[in-house]
């Protein structure tokens, strides 16, 4: 009986921490295969490159725990990015970067209000708004790239403070704040309750619509923040930027082990999900492996990780 208990515990441990175990295995494998992998420089570069996606995935965690989906964050990224570039060019470079999260916040609010007032599933609503936002991004930029050749515009995406990229600091700070919000505040509790059992939450006096609107607003704001970093880094607003980022963000959240049905999950899991995807990518680069296998490998690893966490379904 003791052995069955321990093996059951072990299985649960693997299910709960599948993503971390896979990251550890990848790190060990890549360290053995390449000398250039386990260097501060390489690791910081991975974090830096993936900071925008990680920020979006962190916020997406709240949406998914709350029982929703946001397929529009890629488009919000585009609108916020071209707006930031436009404002930087025509008004002030600092204001351009500062305004992007607020534009994202506003668009996220639109999502939330559309979903709760029309009472349609967020999946459908954000497919629609994503197209609307994409159109807005094209209108703002006139369908063209907006190059911003101003020195004061690039600090957010390129500079370091004390040897650490500002983008990495912003991402880690954002992840910590969201972790705190989710686990230690009344709002976070309500997000879990809305995704776990909306009816019970309503009967408990939770204003579920407000909570949902707030999660979408946060996801929008995160997309705007991510866009600011990204636009600053490449000094250019692109109306076509962000395409597919919503799916990468959702994949990272699910890969991390947050329940797709809502009600359970954690921000660190999504960060781990982003890192796992990034490590696979990085492995291909430093090993000079045939990039034709990249998507195939990534897909298989996602299947394995999700399969391990789902295997605990039956008690």
Partner 1 sequence: MMDKTHPLKDHTPCVRLRGIGKSFGGVRVLGGIDVDFHEGEIHGLVGENGAGKSTLGKIVGGYYASSEGQIEVFGETVGSWDPSRALERGVAMMHQELQLVPALSVAQNVFLGIEEKRFGVLARTENARLADIMHASGFELDPDAVTAGLSIADQQKIEIMRALARNSRVIVMDEPTSSLTADEAERLHETMRRLKAAGNTIIYVSHFLDDILGVCDTVTVLRDGKLVRTGKTSDETKGTLVSAMLGGDRSETPYPAKNKKRRSTSNPVLRVENLTASSGVNDVSLEIHSGEIVGLIGLVGSGRTEIARAIFGADRADGGRIEIKGVAYQSRTPAQSTRHGMVMVPEDRRKQGLVMTMPVRANMTLPHLQFFSYASGTIKSTLEKTRVRALVDYFRVVPNQIDGNIPNYSGGNQQKVLLGKWLLQNPDVVILDEPSRGVDVGARQRIHEAIADLAAKGTAVLLISSEIEEVLGLAHRAYLVHKGALVDEINPDATTTKDVLWSLFHQDNPSTDTARSPIT
Please give the residue ranges that form the binding site for partner 1 (CB under 8 A). Answer: 1, 4-5, 8-9, 12, 181, 184-187, 189-190, 192-193, 195-197, 199-207, 259, 263-264, 314-315
Which residues lie across from 160 on neighbouring strands? Answer: 165
Report the nearest approach of partner 1 to the CB of residue 13 (Å): 12
Q: Which long-range contacts (CB under 8 A, 24 or more apart) does 38-42 make?
A: 42/282, 42/286
CB 200 within 8 A of CB 263: no
Instruction: Determine contact, residues 70/221, Cβ cutoff 8 Å.
Output: no
Torsion angle (degrees, nearest 10) of CA 223, 165, 21, 23: 90
**Residue number, 158 or 189, with CB nearest to partner 1:** 189
Instruction: Give 8 or 161: the residue with its C-beta nearer to partner 1.
Output: 8
Distances from the Cα of 176 to the Cα of 59, 88, 160, 184, 211, angstroms = 11, 29, 20, 11, 20
Indicate the DSSP class of residue 291. G
CB of 183 to partner 1, least distance (A): 9
If the CB atoms of residues 189 and 294 are measured against partner 1, the closer one turns out to be 189
Among positive and negative, which fits the CA dihedral 86, 91, 95, 99?
Answer: negative
Give least dist CB 195 to partner 1, A: 8
* Distance of closest approach, residue 257 Cβ to partner 1, in angstroms: 13
Least distance between partner 1 and beta carbon 39 (Å) = 39
Closest distance to partner 1 from the beta carbon of 259 (Å): 7
CB of 303 to partner 1, least distance (A): 24
Closer residue to partner 1 (CB): 196 or 240: 196
- Which residue, 160 or 210, is less far from partner 1 as judged by CB? 210
Output 193 or 309, the one with its CB closest to partner 1.
193
Residue 33's CB: how many other CB atoms inside 10 A?
12
Q: Whose Cβ is closer to partner 1: residue 52's or residue 67's?
A: 67
Q: Are 240 and 79 in contact (CB under 8 A)?
A: no
Integer Cα distance of 189 and 77 in angstroms: 28
How many residues would you count in the chain? 315
Q: How far apart are CA 242 and CA 226, in angstroms?
A: 10
CA Rg value for the chain: 20
As a whole number of angstroms, the distance between CA 67 and CA 91 comes to: 39
Nearer to partner 1, 148 or 214 (CB): 214
CB of 209 vs partner 1, minimal distance in Å: 10
Q: What b/e readout covers 265-288, taking b as 16+ CB neighbours within 10 angstroms?
A: bbbbbbbbbbbbbbbbbbbbeeee
| Least Å from the CB of residue 10 to partner 1 | 12
Q: Which residue's CB is nearer to partner 1, number 9 or number 144? A: 9
């Amino acid at each position: 009986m003791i052995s069955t208990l321990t093996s059951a515990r072990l299985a649960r441990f693997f299910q709960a921490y599948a993503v971390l175990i896979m990251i550890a295995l990848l790190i060990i494998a890549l360290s053995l295969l390449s000398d250039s992998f386990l260097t501060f420089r390489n690791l910081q570069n991975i974090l830096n490159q993936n900071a925008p996606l990680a920020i979006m995935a962190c916020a997406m965690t709240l949406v998914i725990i709350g029982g929703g989906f946001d397929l529009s964050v890629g488009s919000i990224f585009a609108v916020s990015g071209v707006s930031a570039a436009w404002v930087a060019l025509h008004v002030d470079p600092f204001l351009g970067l500062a305004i992007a999260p607020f534009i994202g916040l506003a668009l996220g609010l639109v999502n939330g209000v559309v979903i709760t007032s029309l009472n349609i599933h967020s999946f459908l609503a954000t497919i629609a708004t994503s197209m609307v936002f994409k159109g807005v991004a094209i209108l703002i930029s006139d369908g063209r790239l907006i190059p911003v050749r101003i020195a004061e515009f690039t600090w957010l995406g390129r500079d370091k403070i004390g040897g650490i990229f500002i983008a990495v600091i912003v991402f880690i700070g954002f992840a910590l704040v969201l972790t705190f919000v989710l686990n230690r505040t009344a709002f976070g509790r309500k997000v879990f309750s809305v995704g776990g059992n909306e009816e019970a939450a309503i009967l408990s006096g939770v204003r579920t619509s407000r909570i949902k609107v707030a999660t979408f607003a946060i996801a929008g704001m995160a997309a705007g923040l991510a866009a600011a970093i990204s636009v600053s880094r490449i000094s250019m607003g692109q109306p076509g930027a962000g395409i597919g980022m919503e799916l990468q963000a959702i994949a990272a959240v699910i890969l991390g082990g947050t329940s797709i049905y809502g009600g359970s999950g954690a921000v660190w899991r999504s960060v781990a999900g982003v890192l796992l995807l990034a490590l696979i990518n990085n492995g291909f680069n430093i090993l000079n492996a045939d990039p034709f296998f990249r998507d195939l490998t990534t897909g298989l690893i996602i299947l394995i990780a999700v399969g391990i966490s789902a295997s605990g379904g039956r008690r």
